[in-house]
Structure 1
Amino acid sequence: MACARAYRDVGAAGSVVMVADEGRMPYRRPPLTKEYLRGAVTADALPLEESGWPAANGVGFVAGRATALDPSARRIGLANGRELSYANCLLAPGARPVRLPIDGADDPGVLVIRTLEHARDLVDRLQPGHRVIVMGSGFVGCEVAASLSRRGHPVHLISDEPLPQARRLGDDVGRRLRDWLEADDVTLALGAAVERVTRAAGELAVHTAAGSARADLIVMAAGAAPRTELARSAGLPLHGGAVPADAGMRTAAPGVLAAGDVCRAQHAIAGRSLHVEHWGSAIAQGDVAGRTAAGAEAEWDVVPGFWSTIGERTLKYAAWGDGHDDVAQTYGADGAFTVRYRAGGRLVGVLTHGHDEDYAAGRDEIAAGAA
């Protein structure tokens, strides 16, 4: 959608067709693990544009799955046998949720959450008093655990991390996230990897080396993997499991661009390629791709960042995301804090809670330090 919008914004008049295997117009995914799970918003609040926007802007929509891409012929094959020709094609298939390679991971009571259908399925299955186990202490796992607890369900979060997000954000932040989750009545079992899932008498159990926990439903929040099938069918190279692209989102194949989770793009300011799995970066990259397709000069130059709301507390994070060697914290009133991440003396990341001015200033400093 960001690509189509940008393409039209610069005055390009070529035909535009979006192919979506979910069968619906693009929508906002971040609320799925927060407001939608809590019941604060419905699916009607999620679309990126009003229902009349595509027709008003000459954008077609095909509900279906692309199964083949031929860059030499500039044709796309769909699962229903239809073929589409193109001058420029944007690959933005996103990512799929990962299921851990453990016994019981394919039990029908083990759910994942990535799409609206996933979130709707989870909500539809929940009955009053149902116990839920969340596997994983990444942002998705923490958000889901807090949201379901606020719906009134007993929630158990299990993770091999000794503290939530400690590997990425540091122990101090991990302790704060732990405290936030416990304040939302989430029971934590940290520091032991899940070994298997079993079912007996209609009850699910998750087993670790430290013990077992039982539930009616399980949400596996074990990360996501780029959907590269279409890129592979086109013979595109992969780097670290993602499709390389330049700062204008061009891939190695003429006329084929990439954006979002599937893409590892050159960042114009960072001076290196980055694989960023954040909503805001996907939107920014899609915008660049649309301008590139229209023949305009455009580069991905926005410092990657995102927000995460756990219960009622929001973290704001901006970073290059590829490592740091120093961490410094500052604290304010009412639990507010700022964490600055540096590498080689330069600011490469900033994380804030309740310090919006630090977030904005930090993002500017990150960009300036890399220039």
Structure 2
Amino acid sequence: MADTRSEEKPDFARGIPSGDLPEGAMVEGTLGADKVLLLRRDGAVRAIGARCTHLGAPLAKGIVAGGEVRCPWHHARFSLETGEAVGAPAFDPLPCYRAEERDGRITVTGRREAAARPPGRSPGKVVVIGGGAGGHACAEWLARAGHGAAVTLVSDDPDPPYDRTFCSKQYLSGKAKREATLLAPEGFYQGEGPRLLRDRAVSLDLGAEEVVTAGGERLPYDALVIATGAAPLRPDVPGFDRPAVHTLRSLADADALIAAAGTARKVAVVGASFIGLEVAAAMVARERSVTVVAPDAVPLAKVLGEAVGRFVQGVHEEKGVAFRLGREVTGFDGEALTLDDGSRIAADLVVLGTGVAPRTDLAEAAGLTLADEDEGGGIAVDGNLAASAPGIYAVGDVAAYPDPRSGRRLRVEHWVHAQRQGQHVARALLGATAPFAETPFFWSGHYGTSLRYVGHAASAEDARIEGDVGKGDFAVTYREDGRDAALATCKRDQRSLEVEAAWDREGAAAG
């Protein structure tokens, strides 16, 4: 239950009647300038910060499960007891407050210090290859536990770790500044924090347990975390090697796209993928003419089904995006794309949203076991995300792990899932033994419409629709092998959270 009916929030210094906070309720109010969330669980009253430390979502619209409050927007999780951000994409803790219930009234009297988390065992020397979602999340968790100085993060990206989702959303559209993409405050990768080595790992010496870099360093490790991610695919099409043809994976890629959009008038997006459509929305925000070309009959139908795919297509068409579906690109001459029916689409900027491939070259050269192509490729890991050689782990887009709910090996290309895998490995290095059992989750923004997806389904053919897809208020359940495998929602955030929490419990029990 959330108090969202009025802009007038109660002043918790003055207090509220106990009856206004029944069992299971959440009420947002204020304490001076602070936004505070009051909750009653198992009879006890708690008070914590009311806004998610990731992007400021109102936690009163989320849920509480397993002693944690879950954010309605991007599913970050916080401990009710300590305020700690225990599940990405948030890293900073919520403030905690003293709440008192006396004579039928609840008041908040000030901030309280949360109990510190035990540091766990020493992880030894940890080398992380890759500064993306999983790599940074692993390093951050170890630093949070007091072991930052034991970590070296090797990244061939010229920028310090940043939120890659901003590259196709807020930053690309002009709604956020470049510095807003950074995942850690300035100085995090200095002093007693992890060491950020801007270099490229070129080989793994498994016998010596060392990582060799292009700059000539040999980095010894007790634990190695491979978080090399994935690289965008560039189809072998004449003209796709021209400077006007871009892919989008890194912050530098987003910089180049923004610069190119400054002089471009007509933008063609090749591929109706999530990234492709988010780029289309960002280019519309920059007042560019956009055409999306894809071989699919309906955008995103393979993942979301035809009904939701047509809904998303309609959202874009209402903003002026043109679609050429069921068509392949056969060439680009610098002025126009040529399609397989002989037609031409004028374009002075082309963006490829044609998929990615896991970066497994280091692992393959070192002899680590890879997953089969029908499992999505990537580095094969066990339930604790450990690879086939001692002391080596893989997380994120490059990792193919056993999913406890389906019993299948999955390789999932989701930002938050990669972060949570990085956090899981960090906990394992500190002594935790539970297998990885988190439910995959991603979100996708299209103008003012946000989609949330939990779980994983290889096909959208067996779908059960609740609500009205055409009106953008729905929940679609995708089934596989007689079980609910995934859920896509729009304007039903609590439902998404509740299903995710239930599947987390199911996965943990199965693992």
- Taking structure 2 as the reference length, the TM-score comes to 0.69
SS at match of 2:432: coil
Partner residue in 1 for 2:333: 198
Alpha-carbon distance between aligned partners in 2 of 1:367 and 1:293, rounded to the nearest angstrom:
22
Partner residue in 2 for 1:227: 359
- Are 1:30 and 2:165 counterparts? yes
Alpha-carbon distance between aligned partners in 2 of 1:171 and 1:323, rounded to the nearest angstrom:
11
Partner residue in 2 for 1:64: 199
Amino acid at match of 2:324: A
Deviates more, 1:293-302 or 1:129-138: 293-302
Q: Is the contact made by 2:474 and 2:492 (CA closer than 8 Å) also made in structure 1?
A: yes
What whole-Å deviation, never above 9, does each CA across 1:47-91 have from its counterpart, x for those lacking one? 111112233653111001111111121111111222111111110
Alpha-carbon distance between aligned partners in 2 of 1:248 and 1:14, rounded to the nearest angstrom:
24
- Are 1:179 and 2:299 counterparts? no
Amino acid at match of 1:285: Q
- Are 1:216 and 2:339 counterparts? no
SS at match of 1:36: helix
Alpha-carbon distance between aligned partners in 2 of 1:326 and 1:210, rounded to the nearest angstrom:
36
Pairwise CA distance, 1:310: 1.1
Alpha-carbon distance between aligned partners in 2 of 1:41 and 1:359, rounded to the nearest angstrom:
27
Instruction: Identify, as 1 or 2, the structure richer in helix.
Output: 1
1:108 to 243, 250, 266: 243
Alpha-carbon distance between aligned partners in 2 of 1:322 and 1:103, rounded to the nearest angstrom:
32
Alpha-carbon distance between aligned partners in 2 of 1:305 and 1:176, rounded to the nearest angstrom:
20
1:34 and 1:17, CA in 2 relative to 1: closer, same or farther beyond 3 A?
same
Q: Is the contact made by 1:96 and 1:226 (CA closer than 8 Å) also made in structure 2?
A: yes
Partner residue in 1 for 2:480: 343
1:91 and 1:188, CA in 2 relative to 1: closer, same or farther beyond 3 A?
same
Superposed, which structure 2 residues align to 1:244-283 within 5 Å? 244-283=380-419
Alpha-carbon distance between aligned partners in 1 of 2:366 and 2:305, rounded to the nearest angstrom:
40
Amino acid at match of 2:493: D
1:85 and 1:71, CA in 2 relative to 1: closer, same or farther beyond 3 A?
same
Alpha-carbon distance between aligned partners in 1 of 2:462 and 2:399, rounded to the nearest angstrom:
28
SS at match of 2:190: helix
SS at match of 1:55: coil
Alpha-carbon distance between aligned partners in 1 of 2:436 and 2:265, rounded to the nearest angstrom:
45
Amino acid at match of 2:218: E
1:270 and 1:52, CA in 2 relative to 1: closer, same or farther beyond 3 A?
farther
Alpha-carbon distance between aligned partners in 1 of 2:192 and 2:404, rounded to the nearest angstrom:
30
List structure 1 runs of 4+ shifted beyond 6 angstroms: none
Deviates more, 1:45-54 or 1:109-118: 45-54
2:255 to 86, 111, 120: 120
Pairwise CA distance, 1:217: 0.7
Q: Is the contact made by 1:197 and 1:207 (CA closer than 8 Å) also made in structure 2?
A: no
1:40 to 166, 172, 175: 175
Amino acid at match of 2:150: S
Partner residue in 2 for 1:363: 500
Pairwise CA distance, 1:348: 0.6
Partner residue in 1 for 2:213: 78
SS at match of 1:100: coil
Alpha-carbon distance between aligned partners in 1 of 2:278 and 2:168, rounded to the nearest angstrom:
6
Unaligned runs of 5+ in 1: none
- Taking structure 1 as the reference length, the TM-score comes to 0.94
Superposed, which structure 2 residues align to 1:157-172 within 5 Å? 157-172=292-307
1:133 and 1:339, CA in 2 relative to 1: closer, same or farther beyond 3 A?
same
Pairwise CA distance, 1:212: 1.7
Amino acid at match of 1:204: A
Aligned residues: 368
Alpha-carbon distance between aligned partners in 1 of 2:192 and 2:438, rounded to the nearest angstrom:
26
Partner residue in 1 for 2:155: 20
What whole-Å deviation, never above 9, does each CA across 1:29-60 have from its counterpart, x for those lacking one? 01111111111111100111111223365311
SS at match of 1:49: coil
- Are 1:149 and 2:284 counterparts? yes
1:224 and 1:35, CA in 2 relative to 1: closer, same or farther beyond 3 A?
same
Partner residue in 1 for 2:369: 237
Alpha-carbon distance between aligned partners in 1 of 2:246 and 2:173, rounded to the nearest angstrom:
17
Deviates more, 1:206-215 or 1:241-250: 206-215
2:272 to 118, 137, 142: 137
